[in-house]
Amino acid sequence: MTPILWSFRRCPYAIRARLALAASGLRVELREIVLRDKPAEFLSVSPSATVPCLVTTDGVIDESLDIMRWALGQQDPQNWLDMPASGWDWIARNDGPFKHALDRCKYATRYPQEDRSQHLADAAAYLTALDAQIEAWIFGRPTLADYALLPFVRQFAFIDKHWFDAQPWPALQDWLARFLGSGEFAAVMGKYSPWVTGQDMRIFPPKDSPR
């Protein structure tokens, strides 16, 4: 059975799962969904009803970081898993406090009782620390930490790109710009129509995609 990846193109969690799958060299069946109209087939397999969700012969993997680890645990030609233990700390900070602040900056109308300016300051403090850590990459060369964080930094940057570009974060801004212009990013951001029952299998990444 070819593993099935349920995905949504713009979701940062789904982006990082696709990045790891593409880097591993594994191929899966991609099923793009629309979040406001989730297929019954998707809801029947995803415990959280959120993307990404990977269905394998061994079971369902319903968390993006677990999908990354699953893919790279099988094949890791670029040695993304070879990173200092502090890489997991950066990922935890990203997935916890930074994502909390990001959501309250990007979707402020959903949180009318929250202080957006405080959440912006919290996010900026995290990114200032990350900027100080980066020397081309978080640990000097590409690792899992970079690709686990980049989709979320991208999402934050485009809340107000002019403001983001004006901040004193040269290493961080260069790191993000290189990612956005990379073949790796282009390879995982192809546009697909929503999956429908009975359609032909879509293999991801496509055979002509760079690895």
Distances (CA, A) of 44 to 6, 48, 60, 170: 12, 10, 11, 45
Distance CA 120, CA 130 (A): 15
Domain range summary for the chain, segments of one domain joined by +? 4-79+186-204, 86-182
- Would you say 153 and 172 are in contact if contact means Cβ atoms under 8 Å apart? yes
- Per-residue pLDDT tens, the chain, 211 aa: give them: 899 999 999 999 999 999 999 999 999 999 999 999 999 999 999 999 999 999 999 999 999 999 999 999 999 999 999 999 999 999 999 999 999 999 999 999 999 999 999 999 999 999 999 999 999 999 999 999 999 999 999 999 999 999 999 999 999 999 999 999 999 999 999 999 999 999 999 999 987 655 4
Beta-sheet pairing, 28-32 with 4-7: parallel
Cβ-based burial of 99 (10 A; exposed 0-12, middle 13-18, buried ≥19): middle
- Would you say 42 and 53 are in contact if contact means Cβ atoms under 8 Å apart? yes
How high is the pLDDT of residue 207?
73
How high is the pLDDT of residue 211?
46
Question: CA nearest 204: which of 28, 9, 8, 11?
Answer: 28
Token duo for residue 141: 């060369």
Question: CA nearest 54: which of 204, 200, 207?
Answer: 204
Which architecture, in CATH terms, is 4-79+186-204? 3-Layer(aba) Sandwich (3.40)
How high is the pLDDT of residue 208?
63
Q: How long a stretch of residues is the chain? A: 211
- Would you say 102 and 156 are in contact if contact means Cβ atoms under 8 Å apart? yes
Beta bridge partners of 137: 135
- On whether the 86-182 domain is CATH 1.20.1050.10, my answer is yes
**Three-state SS for 38?**
coil
